[in-house]
Amino acid sequence: MKFFVDTADLAEIRDLADTGLLDGVTTNPSLVAKAGRNFVELIAEICDVVEGPVSAEVAATDFDTMLKEGRYLAQIAPNVAVKVPLTPAGLKVCRTLANEGTMVNVTLCFSAAQAILAAKAGAAFISPFVGRLDDIGQNGLNLIQEIVEIYANYPAFTTEVLVASVRNPIHVVESARMGAHVATMPPSVIRQLGNHVLTDKGLATFVSDWAKTGQSILDQP
């Protein structure tokens, strides 16, 4: 499973990229507003830091303007994935950009039917939002299961399932069990993945027991 970070905070992206565990970045207009930076400059800088796909979302909602914005964003760097909303116009933009060789991430997916349309439109990624479905009392992970199962029936579909709106490690682990290709997570969830109280406790014991040996691995006779 590939890990993307869902943030527009460049310092966080640099920090996570240093771990060698980061495969890409997703941003959205809300995250960009929070970062308070020039969008195009910010995307260019992120693309310098991370080799994998960096999602940059169009701002317009009509076909002509979305297409112009998408083409503009695509020329920032070869690893830009243009993000478009799952609307009829967004899908048409997806088809056009995909035909031009641009990676497209279709976002705001809340049903399996929408995911089928995105695959038919040539999306590189479909972003089903698990957390926002959970928030309204529906089971977000069921949607991931449905999409993974449907896409597996059609080898001609090359669209990757990018699990979005991830709120906790359970969303990540369950999506991985289902075979989702990618999870995009806030930095806090990526860090949470590695935590376990027994790891901390076990390490404290090993450190104190090692001290009793009085030895140093690097200081040998």
For position 110 contacting ligand E4P by CB under 6 A, the verdict is no
Question: Number of C-alpha atoms within 13 angstroms, CB side, residue 117?
Answer: 20
Supply the minimum distance, in Å, between the C-beta of residue 6 and ligand E4P.
5
- DSSP letters for 115-166: HHHHHHTT-SEEEEBHHHHHHTTS-HHHHHHHHHHHHHT-TT---EEEEBS-
For position 127 contacting ligand E4P by CB under 6 A, the verdict is yes
Q: Are 118 and 94 in contact (CB under 8 A)?
A: yes
In the list 3, 5, 6, 104, the residue contacting ligand E4P (rule: CB under 6 A) is 6
Q: At 126, which amino acid appears?
A: I
Which entry of 34, 83, 92, 120 is annotated as an active-site residue?
Answer: 83
Which part of the chain contacts ligand E4P (CB under 6 A), choosing from 33-41, 72-80, 90-98, 123-131? 123-131
Which part of the chain contacts ligand E4P (CB under 6 A), choosing from 94-102, 124-132, 143-151, 211-219? 124-132
Supply the minimum distance, in Å, between the C-beta of residue 127 and ligand E4P.
5
In the list 96, 107, 159, 175, the residue contacting ligand E4P (rule: CB under 6 A) is 107
- The helix or strand, by DSSP H or E, that contains position 85, with its residue range, turns out to be strand 80-85
